[in-house]
Amino acid sequence: MSPSSPAQGTQPQKKDRTHYLYIAVIVAVFAGVVIGLASPELGKALKPLGTAFVNLIKMMISPVIFCTIVLGIGSIRQAAKVGRVGGLALAYFLSMSTIALVIGLVVGNVLQPGTGLDLTGLAHYEAPEAESTTEFLLGIIPTTLFSPLVGNSVLSTLFVALFVGFGVQALGRSGEPILRGVKHIERLVFRVLAMIMWAAPIGAFGAIAAVVGETGWNGIGALFQVMAGFYITCAIFVFGFLGLVLRFGAGINIFSLLRYLGREFLLIVSTSSSESALPRLIAKMEHVGVSRPVVGITVPTGYSFNLDGTAIYLTMASLFIADALGRPMAIGEQIGLLLFMIIASKGAAGVTGAGLATLAGGLASHRPDLVDGVGLIVGIDRFMSEARALTNFAGNAVATVLIGHWVGEFDRDQANRVLSGQDPFDEATMLDNDEPEGVTAPTAGAEVGVGPS
């Protein structure tokens, strides 16, 4: 089938313009480094550009968290309908995300890449009066059901979103129109967020110029260290931890599986989006021997709930910001942040900038004095997005094989033939838009663009 003759009934794909944003962010980062080194005072004077961008992200925290939590709980209800496979998948995804978050905290505490930067002057925060535990807990309860959406308390937003989500779940089928309504609101919120992300090059330019102007080469070294640490951590998680789980859980070699998905990894790198490879993952998981029902449940759900790379990123970025600003987090604060991230990171991975919003939301809920430090991450976030996307994709491929094996819906003989190259995947079965017959990609859940995500 020629590219000029799309299959009947298919819609032409929109041209992806996010690569222009990718290039613009990279150029802005290097320009910010040059300005910061050549004229430190000018670099520090550009800090408001980064601050303005962070404020735009902060503006989106409450609506993003509300919509994703409500819809996430709705997704749990839908997955629960399919019984054993859905329940096992959700339990596995929650376990893996938690482990990834813990690994991120451990590596972040070991590396401490932000230690010694002393960027206190780049973030101004007036601490409120100390409050007791009782006052803190009472403060989570909002004045009205909708006031958190226009307020500053992220924990209040999370509190209400959980109530609304479980309330809609309790309504059963009559609650489905409400979920559809929230989905429409989410589309609007994420459209606004995508518009804001086009200002990322300006924000990255100001933030990096200010950091380098304040710290010189030390700042560049620290940013490089946190990026390198993140890449290494993702590699260890995939080839080490997931490799062992796949070997002992299903008897499959991780390198064979990833080699089989090599074309999909190249597609993710070229588009910086694991969503672009979703239809191909569905087709290839069926070809490798996992039954269609298991693939149809596990892969789309995993794209929203199994975000290992994003989890590692959120915790390492939080610790980096805390250390860089000279306000390290105590262990108790880190655990509280981890619990928040487990809940708040679900369902927002398909949206550019959602990762930055989740990161800012987590810091705002536990350490509001660190939120301005998100500007430190803006400049390098783009360089870590591919690693997040690749890790998320690998995690979902492993999860599909494992769950198929555990429920007895995995043809090992077929897998051995496919992974050994005896039964290669037929690319002719894919449509021109890389979407397999009869498969519709879900709208939520892939690491894309310049955000976590």
| Residues 57-103 pLDDT 10s | 778 777 877 887 787 776 666 655 556 777 788 888 888 888 888 88
Helices vs. strands in the chain: H and E counts, helices first: 20, 0
Spatial CB neighbours of 150, under 8 Å, sequence gap ≥ 6: 62
Q: What is the pLDDT of residues 267-286, one digit of tens each?
A: 777 656 666 677 788 888 88
Kindly state whether residue 343 falls inside one of the protein's structural domains: yes
Nearest in space to 311 (alpha carbons), one of 225, 413, 241: 241
Give the whole-angstrom CA distance, residue 429 versus residue 435.
9
More confident residue, 356 or 131: 356
More confident residue, 62 or 124: 62
Among 158-167, 191-200, 249-258, 331-340, top mean pLDDT goes to 249-258
What are the distances in angstroms from CA 85 to CA 101, 196, 291, 404? 24, 38, 11, 8
Q: Which residues pair with 436 in a beta bridge?
A: 430
Arithmetic mean of pLDDT, 103-111:
83
How many structural domains are present in the chain? 1
More confident residue, 324 or 436: 324
What are the distances in angstroms from CA 224 to CA 25, 62, 126? 16, 31, 30
Arithmetic mean of pLDDT, 167-173:
82
Kindly state whether residue 392 falls inside one of the protein's structural domains: yes
Spatial CB neighbours of 180, under 8 Å, sequence gap ≥ 6: none
Q: What is the pLDDT of residues 393-433, one digit of tens each?
A: 999 999 999 999 998 888 888 888 888 888 887 766 654 44
Nearest in space to 312 (alpha carbons), one of 254, 258, 390: 390
Residue with tokens 């089928």, as numbered in its chain: 173
The predicted structure's pLDDT at residue 246 = 92
Kindly state whether residue 176 falls inside one of the protein's structural domains: yes
Number of C-beta neighbours around residue 77 at 10 A = 18
Q: Name the average pLDDT for the chain.
A: 76
Kindly state whether residue 439 falls inside one of the protein's structural domains: no
Nearest in space to 328 (alpha carbons), one of 111, 115, 102: 115
The predicted structure's pLDDT at residue 125 = 44
Kindly state whether residue 17 falls inside one of the protein's structural domains: no
Kindly state whether residue 438 falls inside one of the protein's structural domains: no
Which helix or strand (DSSP H or E) is residue 155 part of? helix 154-170
The predicted structure's pLDDT at residue 434 = 42
Number of C-beta neighbours around residue 34 at 10 A = 14
Give the whole-angstrom CA distance, residue 77 versus residue 79.
6
Give the whole-angstrom CA distance, residue 376 versus residue 320.
9
Kindly state whether residue 63 falls inside one of the protein's structural domains: yes
Q: What is the pLDDT of residues 193-210, one digit of tens each?
A: 778 878 888 888 888 888
Q: With pLDDT > 70 as the criterion, what percentage of the chain qualifies? A: 77
45: its two tokens: 């004077």
Kindly state whether residue 16 falls inside one of the protein's structural domains: no
The predicted structure's pLDDT at residue 436 = 41
Helix/strand/coil (H, E, C) string of 174-229?
A: HHHHHHHHHHHHHHHHHHHHHHHHCCHHHHHHHHHHHHHHHHCHHHHHHHHHHHHH
More confident residue, 31 or 448: 31
Q: What is the pLDDT of residues 332-381, one digit of tens each?
A: 778 888 777 777 666 545 455 566 777 777 787 777 777 777 777 777 77
More confident residue, 438 or 251: 251
- Region of residue 8 (left: phi > 0; alpha: psi -120 to 50; beta: else): beta
Which amino acid belongs to residue 39?
A: S
Tell me the chain's radius of gyration from C-alpha atoms.
Answer: 22
Arithmetic mean of pLDDT, 187-193:
83
Spatial CB neighbours of 399, under 8 Å, sequence gap ≥ 6: 89, 92, 93, 96, 298, 302, 306
Domain of residue 115, CATH code:
1.10.3860
Among 41-45, 103-107, 388-392, 400-404, top mean pLDDT goes to 400-404
Q: State the residue range of the domain holding 313.
A: 27-429
The predicted structure's pLDDT at residue 298 = 83
Tell me if 430 sits within 8 A of 274, measured CB to CB: no
60 phi and psi angles, rounded to 5 deg: -95, -5
